[in-house]
Chains A and B, each alone.
Chain A
Amino acid sequence: MRERSLAARRFSDLLFRILASLAALIGIAFLVWILSVVLSRGIQAINWDFFTQRPAPPGMEGGGVGSAIYGTLLMTGLAVLIGVPTGLLGGVFLAEFGQNTRLGEGVRFTCNLLMGTPTIIVGVFVYIIMVVPMKNFSGYAGAVALAIIMLPVVTRTTEDMLSLVPSALRESALALGAPRWKVTLGVLFPAAKNGLITGILLAVARVTGESAPLLFTALNSPYWPTTLNEPISNLTVTIFNYAMSPYPDWQAMAWGASFLITAGVLGATVFTRGLLWFRSNR
């Protein structure tokens, strides 16, 4: 090996330390930059009307994104109703019935693949299977698209959380003669409750910020939603449309909506992460 002087080695080590610290700082700087911009521009657009009114035509004073907030909540709610039970049961299959089977392996693999699929592809898929046959954009299609995105996430977290439950618990319940379904729902689910709730919350937070799958399923609308069988007003597509518009007051509204989405998604993420951290450190 080539000899290097101690000074040279010390110098390259120092250089590494400085560069590494700098890299970490760059990462944090961008985070702070983005969040501070969203906060400072968003807060200006927020007032009472912002939450209670529906969008006003360009040039008109006032207006808000109340209808979009409502629409986003409606579709996310329906997506939770479809995606969470399916995902929980899928997780039960992976953790309880399919551990070392080839089928289980295949499902787990597909789950990971689906989690890495671009969400806009899910939008195209739902457009073909729902929007085309039903001949109109609808809140149902949007909710299904969001549910498809949630499903693999909920499945994998459920599996992880259930496999953390000690087998002794499972086996003692089974030894008492309890049926499998009762053991799963009555013993394993309560034992893994906190983890499951965390997983579901994170999945919900993730889909709330999604816009690509809604672009051509739920579309958007300036009206209050009356039925889910029509284009539904929603926050993320509203942000997209308003940001691309030439009107300054619409762009300001987009910043307000951005603030709302960021606060919601980051708030939920930080809250659940903090909860997890707090639990594991006590």
Chain B
Amino acid sequence: MQLQRQRNFDPAFRWLATGCGLIIVALAAGIFWELYSGSELSRHKFGFGFLVSQSWNPVTEQFGAASSIFGSLVSTAIAMAIAVPLSLIIALFLVELAPPRVSRVVGGAIELLASIPSIIYGMWGLFVFAPFMADHVQPLLAKVGGGLPFFKGPPMGIGMLTAGIILALMVLPFITSVTRDIFTMVPAVVKESAYGMGSTTWEVSRKVTIPYGIQGIVGACFLGLGRAIGETMAVTFVIGNRHEISASLFAAANSIASTLANEFTEASEDIYLSSLVELGLVLFAVTFLLQLAAQLWLKRTKRKMGVA
């Protein structure tokens, strides 16, 4: 029979599909392996000192990742400090306050922020936002917090602070949409009981909605963190690209991703290239761990909240 004969293709189809699934696993393993073996030269020469050394000198062939790691951490920290509270309160606005129609439009607009390509944030950041920071925001900060070491130095616009704010804008939609989904999962009965006892919207948000969703919020922050730390183009445009650690947030700096973007094609010596690959390995390992933590955490939370 014809069908019988056609069924002979089934095992092949099954293997083909399984093979495509395995390609994904192979890719992830391959990326790790190539970065690991590609950085062998640098790992042997610098050892663990690579992670803490501040020197980055292609001429003397001394390389250390400290300034790049520092820049990634600080810019991400600024981004999270701004994005987390802002996303949380926007999500509350969308779920608790806004009428459905407004909520849909505002929610859609916030999600649109996520689909603007990274390089567009870079263009806007370099030509529009950095001058704005230099002219208005940084002088103000210097005046208010002038005594602090964070706000010292000339207001150039480009630098750590500007990069952090732009990163905040870029991760905002991710954290907002996950948080919003979690808030809508809070059972209406629980909220209505609180309202029935005479609570105000703020009290319901603070004592019912947020505590109910707190685990999910933590997971969402992990996801945002993973995004922010690996973000490349927007940061490369505005961070200034300087291999030095400075306490001032106005100063030019760099991040792991921006160093890779700027220097990879210039690296002519093997040890230079190998050091850059090791930077990539560090970044891959960090985002991998963050993703792992976020996925496990969100999975556990969802199971707890009764949604598989």
Q: How does the 8 Å CB contact mask read for B280-304 relative to A, with 1 for contact and 0 for none?
A: 1001100110111011000000000
Interface residue A229 (Cβ < 8 Å from any Cβ of B): no
Q: Smallest distance from the beta carbon of A280 to chain B beta carbons, Å?
A: 12
Which of B19, B283, B291 is close to A121, meaning CB atoms less than 8 Å apart?
A: B283
Interface residue A114 (Cβ < 8 Å from any Cβ of B): yes
In A70-129, which residues have CB < 8 Å from any B CB? 86-87, 89-90, 92-94, 96-98, 103-104, 106-107, 109-114, 116-125, 127-129
- Binding stretch for chain B, among A49-57, A59-67, A187-195, A236-244: A236-244
Q: How does the 8 Å CB contact mask read for B101-144 relative to A, with 1 for contact and 0 for none?
A: 00000101110110111111111101110000000000000000
Q: Smallest distance from the beta carbon of A81 to chain B beta carbons, Å?
A: 14
Q: Verify B233–A114 contact, CB threshold 8 A.
A: no
Which of B18, B38, B110, B231 is close to A98, meaning CB atoms less than 8 Å apart?
A: B18
**Contact A12 to B202, CB < 8 A, known contacts A215-B261, A262-B120:** yes
Which of B109, B201, B292 is close to A13, meaning CB atoms less than 8 Å apart?
A: B201
Which chain A residue lies CB-closest to B132?
Answer: A33
Q: With A and B bound together, what is the CA distance between A106 and B30 in angstroms?
A: 16
Q: Verify A121–B284 contact, CB threshold 8 A.
A: yes
**Contact A16 to B201, CB < 8 A, known contacts A21-B97, A118-B232:** yes
Given the complex, which residues of A lie within 8 Å of B227, measured CB to CB? 116
Q: Smallest distance from the beta carbon of B129 to chain A beta carbons, Å?
A: 8
On chain B, which size bracket covers the interface? Answer: 35 or more
Which chain B residue lies CB-closest to A94?
Answer: B21
Q: Verify A265–B117 contact, CB threshold 8 A.
A: yes
Q: Verify A179–B116 contact, CB threshold 8 A.
A: no
Q: Verify B127–A121 contact, CB threshold 8 A.
A: no
Q: Verify B86–A23 contact, CB threshold 8 A.
A: yes
Which chain A residue lies CB-closest to B92?
Answer: A20
Q: Verify A216–B264 contact, CB threshold 8 A.
A: yes
Q: Verify B257–A120 contact, CB threshold 8 A.
A: yes
Q: Verify B200–A27 contact, CB threshold 8 A.
A: no
Q: With A and B bound together, what is the CA distance between A272 and B280 in angstroms?
A: 34
Interface residue B277 (Cβ < 8 Å from any Cβ of A): yes
Q: Verify A265–B116 contact, CB threshold 8 A.
A: yes
Interface residue A37 (Cβ < 8 Å from any Cβ of B): yes
**Contact A205 to B119, CB < 8 A, known contacts A26-B86, A28-B110, A181-B13:** no
Given the complex, which residues of A lie within 8 Å of B200, measured CB to CB? 9-10, 12-13
Q: With A and B bound together, what is the CA distance between A128 and B267 in angstroms?
A: 13
Which chain A residue lies CB-closest to B12?
Answer: A181
Q: Verify B24–A114 contact, CB threshold 8 A.
A: yes
Given the complex, which residues of B lie within 8 Å of A206, measured CB to CB? 115
- Binding stretch for chain A, among B1-9, B42-50, B52-60: B1-9
Q: With A and B bound together, what is the CA distance between A118 and B258 in angstroms?
A: 12
Which of B20, B94, B231, B291 is close to A24, meaning CB atoms less than 8 Å apart?
A: B94
Interface residue A233 (Cβ < 8 Å from any Cβ of B): no
Q: Smallest distance from the beta carbon of A236 to chain B beta carbons, Å?
A: 5
Which chain A residue lies CB-closest to B205?
Answer: A16
Main secondary structure of the interface of B (DSSP, over half): helix
Which chain A residue lies CB-closest to B18?
Answer: A93
Interface residue A151 (Cβ < 8 Å from any Cβ of B): yes
Given the complex, which residues of B lie within 8 Å of A125, measured CB to CB? 30-31, 34-35
Q: With A and B bound together, what is the CA distance between A27 and B264 in angstroms?
A: 34
Interface residue B17 (Cβ < 8 Å from any Cβ of A): yes
Interface residue B212 (Cβ < 8 Å from any Cβ of A): no
Which of B19, B22, B93, B287 is close to A118, meaning CB atoms less than 8 Å apart?
A: B287
Q: Verify A209–B113 contact, CB threshold 8 A.
A: no
Q: Verify B232–A266 contact, CB threshold 8 A.
A: no
Q: Verify A110–B28 contact, CB threshold 8 A.
A: yes
Which of B10, B27, B122, B260 is close to A179, meaning CB atoms less than 8 Å apart?
A: B10
Which chain B residue lies CB-closest to A87?
Answer: B20
**Contact A128 to B86, CB < 8 A, known contacts A10-B200, A13-B203, A96-B17:** no
Q: Verify A121–B110 contact, CB threshold 8 A.
A: no
Q: Verify B90–A90 contact, CB threshold 8 A.
A: no
Given the complex, which residues of A lie within 8 Å of B34, measured CB to CB? 125, 128-129
Which chain A residue lies CB-closest to B1?
Answer: A177
Interface residue A230 (Cβ < 8 Å from any Cβ of B): no
Q: A9-B200, A117-B287 are in contact. List 13 more A-B contacts (CB 8 A).
A: A20-B89, A24-B93, A31-B110, A33-B128, A89-B17, A110-B28, A117-B288, A118-B230, A148-B27, A151-B23, A179-B7, A210-B117, A265-B117
The 24 listed contacts between A and B (C-beta, < 8 Å) are A17-B201, A34-B120, A89-B21, A97-B17, A103-B18, A107-B24, A114-B24, A114-B28, A116-B223, A119-B232, A121-B284, A124-B280, A128-B38, A179-B10, A208-B117, A209-B116, A212-B118, A212-B257, A219-B265, A255-B123, A262-B116, A262-B120, A266-B116, A269-B112
The 8 closest A-B pairs by CB, nearest first: A118-B230, A209-B117, A181-B13, A13-B200, A89-B20, A16-B202, A93-B21, A20-B93
Chain A residues proximal to chain B, CB less than 8 Å: 9-10, 12-13, 15-17, 19-21, 23-24, 26-28, 30-31, 33-35, 37-38, 41, 86-87, 89-90, 92-94, 96-98, 103-104, 106-107, 109-114, 116-125, 127-129, 148, 151-152, 155, 177-182, 184, 205-206, 208-212, 215-216, 219, 236, 239-240, 243, 251, 254-255, 258, 261-262, 265-266, 269-270, 273
